[in-house]
Structures are given as structure tokens and as C-alpha cells.
Copies of this chain bind each other. A is one copy, B any other.
């Protein structure tokens, strides 16, 4: 019993350190999550790339609109309102075509879009004040937004990187 109390106390302490995202109803959801895909994102400039192994097992590109790329290049924090970061992920697969030509198992390329195909962070310091000024969005390969439960995991994971305005990705020249 005492042990359970200690665990609960620890959980409460962590919960206190990480502001929980608990939108109450429709209107509150709108102020924390983004439910529409920003137009033209596929034409935005490149911020960086990454490979997430493990359960995700994807290869991804991080793009930014003009405001986001400008802020990254000028190293200005926090990012200005209007900045949007796009993250496109594809399944991480070997390229049999490339490997056959190279004569070795070397090449890994984007495969099919996964259920976590598209993510966005939209900066609006007033509208999304509850989540560090960023609204979070996720869409599957059909353009359907993720449900509220899924979206509630975004901000708590980004919160530890608060010192870089909640952005994991660093700009890669």
C-alpha cells in the first residue's frame, strides 16, 4: 500500500512537471490540435531528414514554410506565429533495385506511406498557448486526422525540448 502511494506521488510529481493536455470539448480541441492539412506543404523547403527505427521504422523528411525556414536559418527562438513545420514519413525499406546494381545490401529508401504519414506543428502563440504556442496535427495516408487520444501524446513528448521551442529537429545545412 505504501509502495502504491509512493508511485502515485511520483506520477503526480511528473504530471506536475509536464502540463497535461486535457481539452475539454470541441472548441478547446480546436485551440490545441490542427485538423486540416496545410496547403502546399510538399513544395516547402527542406529542414532535415531522419530515420526512426524500432516500432516506427520509417524514413522521414522535415520541411518548413518560409517563416519556419527563416527562423531555423537565423536561429531565432521562439519561432514566429505563422511558422509551420511539416514532417512526412514513409516506411523504411531496402531498395532491391539499387542493391542489385551496387552489388551489396546498402540502400534504404522510402516505401509506402504509413498510418502516421503526415505531421505538422503550427505556431500560433495565442491560439495554442496551452501547448507551448504550437498546434499539433497528424494525418494518415488518406488524409484522415488522428483521434484525440493519439493527439494527446504530442505535446508531453515535445515538452522536454522546451528550450529549443519544442522542436526536436535541428536544421541541417
Count chain B CB atoms within 10 A of each CB in A46, A52, A107, A108 and give the residue with the most. Answer: A46
* A interface majority secondary structure: mixed
Q: How many residues does chain A have at the interface if contact means C-beta atoms less than 8 Å apart?
A: 39
Contacts of A161 on B, CB cut-off 8 Å? 97, 101
Cross-chain contact of A61 among B46, B52, B113 (Cβ < 8 A): B46
Whether B42 pairs with A50 at a CB distance below 8 angstroms is no
The residue on B at minimum CB distance from A160 is: B101
**Closest CB of chain B to A45's CB: distance in Å?**
6
A46-B46, A98-B168 are contacts. A107–B59 as well, Cβ < 8 Å? no
The residue on B at minimum CB distance from A113 is: B173
